[in-house]
C-alpha cells in the first residue's frame, strides 16, 4: 500500500513539474529566400509550383498596382512573379520557362511594366494579357471585374501595402477581390461598379486613419477589421478568420516592405494559409498571441525573405511559439556576445538586455551557452 502511494505521489509530482514548465514544441521551419526580392519571388514560385498554365507578372519596383493580384492568382492557380519595370528579370524568365507557362497576365500599365517586357514574354511563345487602369485604383477595379464580386469585396487603402497583404490570402481563398481606395471616399467609377453589382458582404481593412466611414457607408454589409498599427491589424485579421484558415502551414513575411509578402500571397491563397507580418526584428505581441493559441495546429512555418528582412530570432520565435526577442540575456562589460545568466564564459559584470536589443546593437549569441 505504501509503495502504491509513493508511486502515485511521484507521478503527481512529475505531472506538476511538467505542467508548470515552459515546454515549447517546435514547428518545422523553412526559409525561402534569394539574394534580392526578384530571386525570392522566383524561389517562392519554384517552391510552390511544378508547372502552371498561367502566371501573374507584377512590378517589384512599386506596390500599388500589384496589391490586388492575390485573388487573381488564386482564380488561375498561378504564381505571382516579380520583375523590374523595363526588362524581364532573368530569374522571372527562368521560372516562366520552367513552369511551362502558356498565358501571362501582367498587372499594371506600361509605366510599371514596360512594353519591352511584354515583348520579351511573347518571345517565349507565351500569350500575354494586361490588366490595368489609369491609376492604381482603376487597376484594382479592373482586377475586381476579372475576379468577380459575387462572394463579396475587400476594400483596403491604396496608400500603403500592409493591410492588403494581411488580408490577401483569405480574400483569395474566398474569391473576393481587393479594391483600393483613397482615405476620404471611394472613386466614382468604383462606386458605380459596386452599386451595379450584386454582392452581400464586404470587409474594410484598416482604421479611420486610413479609410473613412464615408467609404464604409458606400459598401453593402460592411465589417471593419483594424488595429492600432499594421501589425495589430494583421493580428485582428488572423483572429477574425482563425477558424477559416488552414493553420497546418503559415507564411511569415516582413511588414516593412511589400515584395516578399506579395510574392507569397498567391501561394498562401491557394493553401488558405495565413500571412503573418513581422517587423524583421521582433513579433508583435497580439500576433504572437495568435501564434501561441494556435501553435499545436501549426506544422510548417515558411519564412519568406533573407535574414536582412526577417532575422533568425524572429523565425525561431514563430517556430517555437514564444517571443524570444523579448527574453532577457546578459552582457559583460567587454565582449561582443550575449549569454545566459549561468554561462561559464560570462564575466562577473552582468548587464541585462533583451535579445532583440542585443542583436540591434551588434551583439551575437554565445557559442558556449547558446541562448
Above 60 in pLDDT, residue 30?
yes
Above 90 in pLDDT, residue 302?
yes
* pLDDT of amino acid 300: 96
Start-to-end CA span in the chain (Å)? 46
Tens-place pLDDT, residues 148-158: 999 999 999 99
Above 70 in pLDDT, residue 132?
yes
* pLDDT of amino acid 81: 98
Lookup: cell for 258: 511589400
pLDDT tier at 13 (50, 70, 90 boundaries)? Answer: very low
How far apart CA 38 and CA 302 sit, in angstroms, is 18
How far apart CA 192 and CA 246 sit, in angstroms, is 35
How far apart CA 287 and CA 272 sit, in angstroms, is 18
Tens-place pLDDT, residues 252-284: 999 999 999 999 999 999 999 999 999 977 899
* pLDDT of amino acid 8: 41
Above 50 in pLDDT, residue 344?
yes
* pLDDT of amino acid 326: 87
Q: Which of 54-63, 71-80, 149-158, 320-329 is predicted least confidently?
A: 320-329
Above 90 in pLDDT, residue 26?
no
Residues 236-265, mean pLDDT to the nearest whole number: 96
* pLDDT of amino acid 113: 96
Above 70 in pLDDT, residue 14?
no
* pLDDT of amino acid 17: 35
C-alpha distances (whole Å) from 91 to each of 51, 105, 184, 194 are: 16, 17, 40, 38
* pLDDT of amino acid 25: 53
Residues 31-56, mean pLDDT to the nearest whole number: 97
Above 50 in pLDDT, residue 355?
yes
- Which residue has 516593412 as its cell numbers? 256
Above 90 in pLDDT, residue 167?
yes
Residues 301-312, mean pLDDT to the nearest whole number: 94
Residues 159-172, mean pLDDT to the nearest whole number: 96
How far apart CA 353 and CA 312 sit, in angstroms, is 18
pLDDT tier at 29 (50, 70, 90 boundaries)? Answer: confident
Amino acid at each position: 500500500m505504501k509503495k502504491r502511494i509513493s508511486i502515485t505521489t511521484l507521478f503527481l509530482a512529475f505531472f506538476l513539474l511538467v505542467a508548470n514548465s515552459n515546454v515549447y514544441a517546435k514547428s518545422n521551419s523553412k526559409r525561402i529566400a534569394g539574394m534580392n526580392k526578384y530571386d525570392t519571388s522566383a524561389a517562392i514560385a519554384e517552391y510552390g509550383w511544378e508547372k502552371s498554365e498561367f502566371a501573374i507578372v507584377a512590378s517589384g519596383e512599386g506596390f500599388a498596382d500589384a496589391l490586388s493580384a492575390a485573388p487573381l492568382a488564386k482564380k488561375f492557380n498561378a504564381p505571382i512573379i516579380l520583375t523590374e519595370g523595363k526588362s524581364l528579370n532573368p530569374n522571372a524568365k527562368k521560372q516562366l520557362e520552367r513552369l511551362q507557362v502558356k498565358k501571362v497576365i501582367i498587372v499594371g500599365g506600361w509605366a510599371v511594366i514596360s512594353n519591352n517586357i511584354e515583348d520579351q514574354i511573347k518571345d517565349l511563345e507565351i500569350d500575354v494579357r494586361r490588366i490595368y487602369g489609369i491609376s492604381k485604383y482603376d487597376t484594382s477595379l479592373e482586377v475586381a471585374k476579372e475576379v468577380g464580386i459575387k462572394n463579396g469585396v475587400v476594400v483596403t487603402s491604396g496608400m500603403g501595402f500592409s493591410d492588403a497583404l494581411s488580408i490577401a490570402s483569405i480574400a483569395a481563398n474566398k474569391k473576393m477581390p481587393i479594391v483600393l481606395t483613397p482615405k476620404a471616399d471611394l472613386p466614382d467609377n468604383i462606386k458605380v461598379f459596386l452599386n451595379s453589382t450584386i454582392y452581400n458582404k464586404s470587409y474594410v481593412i484598416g482604421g479611420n486613419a486610413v479609410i473613412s466611414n464615408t467609404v464604409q457607408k458606400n459598401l453593402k454589409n460592411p465589417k471593419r477589421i483594424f488595429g492600432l498599427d499594421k501589425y495589430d491589424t494583421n493580428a485582428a485579421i488572423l483572429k477574425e478568420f482563425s477558424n477559416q484558415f488552414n493553420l497546418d502551414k503559415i507564411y511569415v513575411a516582413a511588414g516593412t516592405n511589400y515584395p516578399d509578402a506579395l510574392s507569397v500571397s498567391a501561394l498562401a491563397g491557394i493553401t488558405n494559409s495565413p500571412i503573418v507580418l513581422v517587423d524583421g526584428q521582433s513579433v508583435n505581441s497580439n500576433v504572437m498571441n495568435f501564434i501561441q493559441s494556435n501553435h499545436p495546429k501549426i506544422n510548417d512555418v515558411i519564412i519568406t525573405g533573407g535574414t536582412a528582412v526577417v532575422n533568425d530570432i524572429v523565425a525561431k520565435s514563430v517556430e517555437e511559439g514564444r517571443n524570444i526577442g523579448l527574453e532577457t540575456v546578459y552582457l559583460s562589460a567587454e565582449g561582443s556576445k550575449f549569454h545566459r545568466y549561468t554561462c561559464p564564459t560570462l564575466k562577473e559584470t552582468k548587464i541585462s538586455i533583451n535579445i532583440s536589443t542585443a542583436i540591434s546593437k551588434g551583439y551575437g549569441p554565445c557559442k558556449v551557452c547558446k541562448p
